Structures are given as structure tokens and as C-alpha cells.
Structure 1
Amino acid sequence: MTKHMTVTRQDWLAARLALLQAEKEHTRRSDALAQQRQAMPWLRVDKTYSFDTAAGSASLADLFQGRSQLIVYHFMFGPDYTVGCPSCSAITDGLNGIAVHLQNHDVALSLVSRAPLAKLLAYRQRMGWTLPWASSHGSDFNFDFNVSFTEAQQRDGSIDYNYTRGGHAMDSALRPPVEVPEAVVQTAAGCGTDVATFARDRPGMSSFVLEDGVVYHTYSAYARGVDAIWGMYPWLDRAPKGRNESGIWWRRHDEYGQPATKPATMSCCG
């Protein structure tokens, strides 16, 4: 017998109509936030960045691939990782399917990571993805857009991530006596690296526009600011038990069915 409240059809419909009003308010607020994002001022990108891609060396403007808009997902795959971050991989599973639709609506979508291109392309093949992936290895791009950090920044606590200094779990975890969250330990090991090396790369997304040959930076979001692009979460939020999480339960899609690891207490990217 279920312990959850059960009602008559009439009472269920009344509850659903009340929820519908709240959902409509949320939708209107979301629309207003989208308009506020689009009204953000643009920041001209004057610095020259070079990327390695499957088609050869590319500039930031080249990543637009003839379109006027570009969205970059900053995929956590540092030079010393052996495989990509599982959280970023779960996000990319969803991005891969929508890339063609964005491309046909004047928006280019590209992953960018610091690992050498050969590593990225090998992992992309393993995952079965087709969307573009550019390596910023040797470039300042990830550092300038606040998704990669140096050992010196880790040591002196000068990491600014998600517009806050030292506010993320991966920052505090590296400053004794704070204990490293188990989720970070697990995920670092799963990427074939140690915690400090793993934590020098972070997730995020950035948007750009190309106008009259000039690239402008329009928007960036980090940590839970990219929560909305996790394709599985809008569905879980509508499932009877919701997200129902006690730690990291997701894996790379080709790892389900393998022995489970010890339950974690939080997401590495949350």
C-alpha cells in the first residue's frame, strides 16, 4: 500500500489546476529571464584564440561555421585526463541530438576542451557523438572564460568561478582542513587523474555573436547555471519521484551495467 497521498479524480484535477497556475507563472518568469539574457550588453573579443579541430587549425570566428551565433559548451577534459568527465558526458548526450537543429537556426554548437585533439576525437568516437569538438590546448581560451585554472591559483585561493571567489566545492576541497567531497574524489579517479588536476577544469557554457567580422561575448554560465541543459533533468523533474538523488547515480552511457561505485554525496559540477 502506498504511503503517498491518494485522492478522488475530482480532487486530483483540482490539485493539477492549482499546479498549472504555478507552472504558468514559472514559464512566464523563464521567458522574462530569457529576454534579460538577450538584452545583456556585448563584450568585444579582441584577443586571438587558436583551436585544433578535425578540419585543422581554427580561430574563434571559424567555430561559427558560417553562422552568426555560437554556443560553446566548456566540456571538462583537461590535458591530463584519460577520459572526459561523466557529468559533461551526460550533458553532451543531449546536446548531440539537438546540434543539427541549432545549426539550421543560425546557431553553431561546439564543445571546447583543453585536452589535445586526438584525445577528444577518440572519446567522441567512443561516445558516438557527431557534434564539433575543438581543442584549446595551448590557448588561453579556457582560462580567459573562467573554466580552467592554474596550480598557482589553487594554492593561493584566487580561483574565480561562477563569478565568485572560492565559492565552489572544488575550490574549498583543495584548501585544508576542508575534506575533499567524495563525489570529487570518485569523479577524478574516473577521469584517470588526481583531485587537484581534475579540479583545474570546470563546466560551463558561453555564447558569442559574430557581426561585421567582429566576435562578441554575450553570455556565460557555470556550475548549476548549466543545470537547464542537462537533458535528463527536465524529465526527472516530471517523474513521480523527481530527481530522487543521494549522490552521483549517472555514468557514461556505455558504463551502465558495470559494478556500482560507493554512493557519493553531491555532484562534482553542482
Structure 2
Amino acid sequence: MTTTHTTASREAWLAARLELLEAEKALTRKSDEVAQQRQALPWVRIDKTYRFDTDEGSASLADLFKGRSQLLVYHFMFGPDYKAGCPSCSSVADGFDGVAVHLANHDVTLMAVSRAPLDKLQAYKQRMGWRFPWASSAGSDFNFDFNISFTEAQQRDGSIEYNYERGGHAMDAADVPPPVAQFAATCGTDAATYTRDRPGLSTFVLEDGVVYHAYSTYARGVDGIWSMYRWLDRAPKGRNETGVWWKRHDEYVTR
């Protein structure tokens, strides 16, 4: 079978590769600039008290730092009515354990936070074979204050603010995109309930006993920490997607 992709001599490939290398170098330099701009954001002091349930007991936001000065919180989609964590968030979280130990030795704590009660998180964590710390924000305003969770009333009146945009409402069954319905079903809930929690990443700093909010990103802003896509972007056929293909890692048929 003849490939439909462009082929070339080694010399022609090298010329094209060198042209691509210049683009890659420019992208790396731009990424460095954006990282510096991200780090230059002003910090916002947090005076509100938040409580979390953790494996070690009740904890404050400052406690989540675990003695370090920086905290990265992954907002994992696992609402109180879910029966399992979001498949997309699960594939993102599959990359946490390998990097968490390195971050911990660089003064950074990586923590997942969800609204589901702690016992649900612990059971799912055991199922997935994860070790990273995961806290429950059940009963706290934390998820709502960081625009990562929403109420039924917000869905009804379109007052959801997510990814720095305002809008969004409860979906009629006919309006639900197939992937959303699919993911909701795998979480044991309906689309409206499923979408009351969203994915994101927030970062915090602890100085002299004071916690500051430094940065938050949502939606495709999470792509940067979704490690499987970093690999696929370098595979010969790229992401090669025609729809939702990924699952929880224990749901694939072994190949």
C-alpha cells in the first residue's frame, strides 16, 4: 500500500526539518516570554477561610502547601453527585505522580481538589492507582470562588463565568454535545450535573503566613499539563482525532 503522505529524499527532508527547527525555536522563545509574563502577574491576597478534607484530616488552604511556599491546584472534575471522576481529568492526572516528587523537591506542592466527599476521592484514587494528594472542598466556597464550579441557578440564568467569559446555561437534552453526554454517563450523572464542575489549574504562594492567588487557567489552558498530548503532537500523525477516543486508563482493551 502506498502512503498518501508526502515523501522525499533524505536531503529534502533535512531542508524541511531545518525550516521547522527555526519555527520550533521561535515557539520556544515565545513560550519562555509567556512564562515570564505569567510569573509577573500581581498576586491577590486571600483573606477568606477555606477548609478542606484531606487524608490527614481537616486542613486550611495554607495547610495544603505541606510546608512549601508554592501550591499548584488541579481543579479535578468530580462533583458530589458523580460516581467516578471525569475521564479527561483522569487522563490529565495520570501524569501527576511522576512529576509530583520533582516539584516537591523544588518547593512546589501539587494537589488535586474536587467537590466530591473525601471517601469518593479516596476510592477512585485507589482504583486509578494514584499517589498524589487529593483534597475535598465539600461544603466550601473554594470551587465557586475560583469559577470552577457553578450552581443550578447560575446555569438557569446564564450567569456562569468560566475561562474569563460570562455565559452558559443548563442544556436541553437535544443541545447536549455527544462527548459531554458520553462523559456524563461514564461519571454516572446527567450532562447538566456533570457541567456544574469544570477543569482548571490555580496556583498560590505562601509568604509570612499569608496565602496569595497567583494564576488560574481553564479549558484548553490545561492542555499544557496534559502530558499525552505533548507526546501526540510529536507523533507522525499528530493527535489524529475524529472525536473523543481517550478513556480512563483501566477501561482500554489491552493491545
TM-score by length of 2: 0.97
State the secondary structure of the residue aligned to 2:201. Answer: strand
Counterpart for residue 76 of structure 2 = 75
Counterpart for residue 107 of structure 1 = 108
Counterpart for residue 17 of structure 2 = 16
State the secondary structure of the residue aligned to 1:252. Answer: coil
User: RMSD across aligned C-alpha pairs, in angstroms?
Assistant: 1.2
Please state if 1:191 is matched with 2:192. no
Any residues of structure 2 matched to 1:57-76 within 5 Å, and which? 57-76=58-77
- Give the 3 Å change call, closer, same or farther, for CA 247–158 of structure 1 in structure 2: same
Counterpart for residue 262 of structure 1 = none
- Give the 3 Å change call, closer, same or farther, for CA 177–66 of structure 1 in structure 2: closer
Separation of aligned partners in 2, 1:139 and 1:99: 25
Separation of aligned partners in 1, 2:181 and 2:104: 37
State the secondary structure of the residue aligned to 1:108. Answer: strand
Instruction: Answer whether contact 2:171 2:192 (CA < 8 A) is retained.
Output: no
Any residues of structure 2 matched to 1:85-124 within 5 Å, and which? 85-124=86-125
Q: Which runs of 5+ in 2 are unaligned?
A: none
Q: Which runs of 5+ in 1 are unaligned?
A: 259-270
Identity of aligned residues (%): 72
Counterpart for residue 231 of structure 2 = 235
Separation of aligned partners in 2, 1:59 and 1:212: 15
User: 1:246 Cα deviation (Å)?
Assistant: 1.1
Any residues of structure 2 matched to 1:156-171 within 5 Å, and which? 156-166=157-167, 171=168
Counterpart for residue 245 of structure 1 = 241
Please list the CA deviations of residues 110-156 of structure 1 after superposition, one character each: whole Å capped at 9, or x if unmatched. 00000000000000011000000000000000000111000000000
Please state if 1:200 is matched with 2:201. no
Counterpart for residue 38 of structure 2 = 37
Instruction: Answer whether contact 2:82 2:194 (CA < 8 A) is retained.
Output: yes
User: 1:182 Cα deviation (Å)?
Assistant: 0.4
TM-score by length of 1: 0.92
User: 1:3 Cα deviation (Å)?
Assistant: 1.3
Separation of aligned partners in 1, 2:108 and 2:174: 42
Amino acid at match of 1:12: W
User: 1:23 Cα deviation (Å)?
Assistant: 0.1
Q: Which runs of at least 4 in structure 1 moved beyond 6 Å after TM superposition?
A: none
- Give the 3 Å change call, closer, same or farther, for CA 177–93 of structure 1 in structure 2: closer
Please list the CA deviations of residues 225-245 of structure 1 after superposition, one character each: whole Å capped at 9, or x if unmatched. 111111100110010110011
